[in-house]
Every structure is written in structure tokens, then in C-alpha cells.
Amino acid sequence: MMDYTIPKKSGASFHIDEGESFEVTNPEGEQIADLVAFNRHNVSEKYSQAYTRHMNNKLRISTGDSLYTTEGNPILTITSDDTGVHDIMYGPCNEWMLTDIFPDEPGGCRENLYLAAKPEGIEEEDVPNTLNVFQKSMVKGEDQELELGRSPADPGDAVEFEANQDAIVAVSACSAAGEPNGDELTSIGLKVPDYTTLHGASIQNEHNH
């Protein structure tokens, strides 16, 4: 496997073959990573946050649960999970959201994911709602109000995914400064098969597993 770093407030994309695995890691802890996936042979079929809630029949997924596509097919399955807390209710942070809060730093995960996946022919409007890895969201009370908490990810936490089909995956180190991302925005790590080509991430070092 190869280790890569996605620098803070940026994204990366890569190919993963059916049956192969990769990991999203949290080098410094408390950092959210937004993730999307596309069917590599037909990118109009892509991760669907809504059908992932529906098919798993829950609002939080972990080991043994799959991410489903717009066509209802599993595309990635979580096979190992140190953190156990990930969000499938919120959309990716994005330019209109962050421009209001941080006018000097426009651009968020939606833009990071688009820029990373652009070499694969993905258009900005094609970026779907995300799996927000390491993000803690809660549903409270009878009115089912949504609330975000601080990411519970510890430094070094990893989530392993196995591909259920040939896929393009894009991951963003979340750009939204605030408590859900801990005290400061940091990088996200990726471990991918040796032959993998990434767009947008910097190589960290090489491991043989």
C-alpha cells in the first residue's frame, strides 16, 4: 500500500478496482473527510447519500455497512473502522456556505472534490452529497433537530473501504473551520494499492503490507 497526504482544505481522487481496499486516515485527529464515489464505467451512477440511509435503514454507518449508488448498488463497503462515527445527513461544505461564514476563504469540500475529480471528467454539478467520514452529527428530541459535535476521531484512526465495483473515489480534507473539525483544520491521509494514481494529493511515504 502507498500512503498519501491530502493537505488541509484540499482534495484527491483515485481509481479503485472491484475487490480492492483503501483506507482514509486521520493523522492528527478530529478532522472530517468528505468522500464520494462514482461507477468508473458510467459516472452518472454515483454514491447516493439518501439511498445509503434508506438501504442501511439508519443514520450512521460503520463496519459491515455499504455505500449505495443512485441505482441502488453497493459501491463501497466499510470493512474496518476505528472511529465508528460518520455522517450521512449533511451535504459537503461549499462556496456559498463558507463565503457567508469566512468571506476571506471561499471554497469548501464540494469545490475540493470537483477539482480533484475534474481530470476524470466529473463536472461540478455532478458532485453528490457526501459520506462525511469522522463527522459527528446527532438527531435530537421529538422534533429531530440536527446537531453537530466535535469529531471523535483520534490521531491515527483509520476507516477501511472495499470496492464493490470499479470506482472513482474522491476525498476532501474538510475546509469548514469550526468545532466539528476540532481546534484547527488539518490533513487527511489515504492508503491505496501500490499501482494507484492519484490526482491532487502529495505522496508521503511507501509501506509494504
Residue ranges in contact with Zn ion by CB under 5 A: 93, 108-109, 174, 176
Q: Which is nearer to Zn ion, 109 or 122 (CB)?
A: 109
Question: Taking the complex as a whole, how short is the minimal distance between the CB of residue 174 and Zn ion, in angstroms?
Answer: 3
Question: Taking the complex as a whole, how short is the minimal distance between the CB of residue 59 and Zn ion, in angstroms?
Answer: 19
Nearest to 196 by CA among 38, 42, 23: 23
Question: Taking the complex as a whole, how short is the minimal distance between the CB of residue 109 and Zn ion, in angstroms?
Answer: 3
- In terms of C-beta density within 10 A (0-12 exposed, 13-18 middle, 19 or more buried), how is residue 19 classed? exposed
Q: Which residue has the cell 469548501?
A: 108
Work out the number of other CB atoms within 10 angstroms of the CB of residue 123.
10
Q: Which is nearer to Zn ion, 10 or 164 (CB)?
A: 10
Nearest to 116 by CA among 21, 205, 34: 34
Q: Which is nearer to Zn ion, 33 or 78 (CB)?
A: 33
Q: Which is nearer to Zn ion, 163 or 188 (CB)?
A: 188
Phi-psi region of 56 (alpha: psi -120 to 50; beta: other; left: phi over 0): alpha
Question: Taking the complex as a whole, how short is the minimal distance between the CB of residue 40 and Zn ion, in angstroms?
Answer: 24
